[in-house]
Amino acid sequence: MLGEQKSNFYTVKDLSAAEFIAAFSQYLKKNNLIERPKWADYVKTSTGILWVYLATELAPLDDDWIYVRVAALARKIYLRPRTGVNLLSHLYGQKYRVASRHPRHEHAHLKIIRWGLQQLEKQKIIKKDKKGDQLKINSRIISE
C-alpha cells in the first residue's frame, strides 16, 4: 500500500521458537554471559522417559545444552510474563512410566530451572515482580 513502511524491528513472537532459541543461546555463549557450571556434565534434566528405548539416565549429549535451556526459559517468560519455577518445571516435564503401570506426568528438575533464572537475573534480562516472586522480561515491563 502507499505510504506503508516495512520495519526492521522484530519481537520474539515474530520468530519461530527454534530460530530464537538457537540465536539467543549462541549470543549467551559467545558473550560469556553465563558461565557453564561444573555439574552440567553429569546432571539429568528429568526423570521421565522420552521414547520407548531412550530413558533420560544421562546428561544431554550436546555440550551447549545449558545455554539452550536458559534461552528457552527466557522465551517462555517473555511469552508468559508471570511464570514461576513450578509452572516451568511442569512445562519442561514429560511422561514417566514404570514397567506396566499407567504413564504419569513427571516434572522437570527444579535446580536447572532455578539456576537458569538466577543467571538471567544476574544479567538483568529478567527481574522479579514486586508482587511475590513472579518473573518478567525487562522489555515487557511497562514503566510506572
Give me the pLDDT at residue 6, please: 65
Query: What is the domain range of residue 27?
Result: 15-140
Considering its fold, how many domains does the chain have in total?
1
Please state the rounded mean pLDDT for residues 80-88: 86
In a domain, 6, yes or no: no
Answer whether residue 9 is part of any domain. Answer: no
d(CA 61, CA 41): 9
CATH of the domain at 31: 1.10.10.10
pLDDT at 106 (0 to 100): 81
pLDDT in tens, 25-66: 999 999 999 988 998 888 877 766 655 445 556 677 788 899
- Determine the number of helices (DSSP H) and then strands (DSSP E) in the chain: 4, 4
Tell me if 111 is assigned to some domain.
yes
Beta pairing partners, 108: 46
**Structure-block grid coordinates of residue 12:** 520474539
What Rg do the C-alpha atoms of the chain give, in angstroms?
18
Examine the pLDDT at 137 and tell me if it is beyond 80.
Answer: no
State how beta strands 94-96 and 126-128 pair.
unpaired
Cα(108)–Cα(44) distance, integer angstroms = 9
pLDDT at 131 over 90: no
pLDDT at 67 exceeding the cut of 90: yes
Residue 10 domain flag:
no
Q: Is residue 53 part of a domain?
A: yes
Across the chain, mean pLDDT equals: 79
Predicted pLDDT of residue 142: 35
